[in-house]
Amino acid sequence: MKRNVRILSGIQPTGILHIGNYFGMMRPAIALQDEGEALYFIADYHALTSLRDPLALRENSRRVALDFLACGLNPDKAALFRQSDVPQVTELAWILSTVTPVSRLELAHSYKDKIARGATAAAGLFTYPVLMAADILIYDSDIVPVGKDQKQHLEIARDIATRINETFGSMREGQVLNLPEARIQAQTEVVPGIDGQKMSKSYGNTIDIFGDEKEMRKRVMSIVTDSTPVEAPKDPDTSTIVQLYALVASKEEVEEMREQFRKGGCGYGDFKKQLFEKLWDYFAPMRKRRDEILRHQDYIESVLAQGAGRANSIADGVMKRVRKAVGL
């Protein structure tokens, strides 16, 4: 019998979550919790490749769980857990690494980018995609909602699964590992940051989901614009303000702003104010839920424990199959 579609994604607890994380990954992931069996985890093993502050790692992990719940993750529908509560993934990562060509990992953009930005070329950073493949494959995942920047990692995961299946699969027992598919939202492929580049924790260009009002306003007001004077027409197609507005405003509202851009007579400052108001209102229900959760701190730990239980039971089953297939 075909089981439910299994949906899986992870997010690194390397900092404070921003609206790029929300629109690129969290919102689609939360929407998918109604379409199958969802498993979402906090990628703390992965975070170790860049974060070496144990207190910060622990605190960020708790905060990611809190923010995910505040944004609408329903623990009755989706399991939420820490990656490190399923240590079997490191065993699977080892097995996968034995069939992964170094040349495949050398082509990974994310590794090359991190090195170009000054990261030390640690072995763990290099094999990051192998651990990520293990995260995905250990739950027989079918669909993996992620932002566009993770597309290549998904391709690597599929490639590794195929190699395992070709090497160890058998006519009688069938495939060892299930082939996952990336689910990338076209309209929010890349959410721009306040400098117009991809919004990212590591670029210092974020608008945080749960910053306070003053902070969010300040970030929105510092969106980089050109020096077109107030009265002159402006190009809505290249504007970060319009792109971000489109994430939170209705179609008509976006069209109205675009029209005002083209007409001229309105300065960037006014458009930024409109954007701020919309953004602030958009996240109001989530802020409310977050305050409620904060009043019941034990709730977060109990959700994570329950999620880890579910994740472990699936992972144990898959590992049994893998160990048998490879001869351990």
Contact residues for ligand TRP, defined by CB under 6 A: 8-12, 43, 46, 132, 135-136, 144, 146, 150, 153
Q: 148-167: which residues touch ligand ADP (CB under 6 A)? A: 149-150
201's contact among ligand TRP, ligand ADP, none, with CB below 5 to 8 A by partner kind, is: ligand ADP
Tokens 């923010």 belong to which residue? Answer: 67
Give me the DSSP letters along 116-169.
HTT----HHHHTHHHHHHHHHHTTT-SEEE--GGGHHHHHHHHHHHHHHHHHH-
Among 7, 8, 11, 244, binds ligand ADP (CB under 6 A): 11
191's contact among ligand ADP, ligand TRP, none, with CB below 5 to 8 A by partner kind, is: ligand ADP
- Cα–Cα distance for residue pair 141/161, rounded to 1 Å: 12
Whichever of 25 and 319 has its CB closer to ligand ADP, that residue is 25
Whichever of 61 and 239 has its CB closer to ligand TRP, that residue is 61
Among 6, 8, 20, 80, binds ligand ADP (CB under 6 A): 20
Of the candidates 163, 136, 145, 162, the residue with the CA atom closest to the CA atom of residue 314:
136
DSSP conformation class of 239: -
- Cα–Cα distance for residue pair 132/150, rounded to 1 Å: 10
Count the residues of the shown chain that bind ligand ADP, applying the rule CB under 6 A: 19
Look up 198 and say whether it is catalytic.
yes
Find the helix or strand (DSSP H, E) in which 37 lies. Answer: strand 37-42
Residue 123 CB, shortest distance to ligand ADP, in Å, is 20
Whichever of 202 and 222 has its CB closer to ligand TRP, that residue is 202
Q: Rounding to the nearest 10 degrees, give the CA dihedral for residues 72, 73, 75, 76.
A: 70
Measured N-to-C along each axis, helices 298-326 and 88-97 cross at an angle, to the nearest 10 degrees, of 40
Residue 155 CB, shortest distance to ligand ADP, in Å, is 14
Look up 263 and say whether it is catalytic.
no
Find the helix or strand (DSSP H, E) in which 275 lies. Answer: helix 268-282
Q: Between the CA of residue 201 and those of 92, 198, 308, what are the distances in Å? A: 29, 10, 27
191 binds ligand ADP (CB under 6 A): yes
198's contact among ligand ADP, ligand TRP, none, with CB below 5 to 8 A by partner kind, is: ligand ADP
Structure tokens at 29: 């992931």
Residues with Cβ within 8 Å of residue 37, at least 6 apart in sequence: 3, 4, 5, 6, 7
Residue 5 CB, shortest distance to ligand TRP, in Å, is 15
Identified catalytic residue from 201, 234, 272, 278:
201
Whichever of 191 and 254 has its CB closer to ligand TRP, that residue is 191
Structure tokens at 69: 């719940």
247 binds ligand ADP (CB under 6 A): no
Whichever of 37 and 135 has its CB closer to ligand TRP, that residue is 135
Identified catalytic residue from 77, 151, 198, 218:
198
Q: Residue 76 CA to chain centroid, in angstroms? A: 21
**Stretch near ligand ADP under the rule CB under 6 A, chosen from 96-104, 146-154, 165-173, 229-237:** 146-154
Look up 114 and say whether it is catalytic.
yes
Sign of CA dihedral 148, 152, 153, 155: positive
201 binds ligand ADP (CB under 6 A): yes
125 binds ligand ADP (CB under 6 A): no
Residues engaged in binding ligand ADP (CB under 6 A)? 11-12, 14, 20-21, 24-25, 146-147, 149-150, 188, 190-191, 198-202
Q: Which amino acids are annotated catalytic?
A: 114, 198, 201
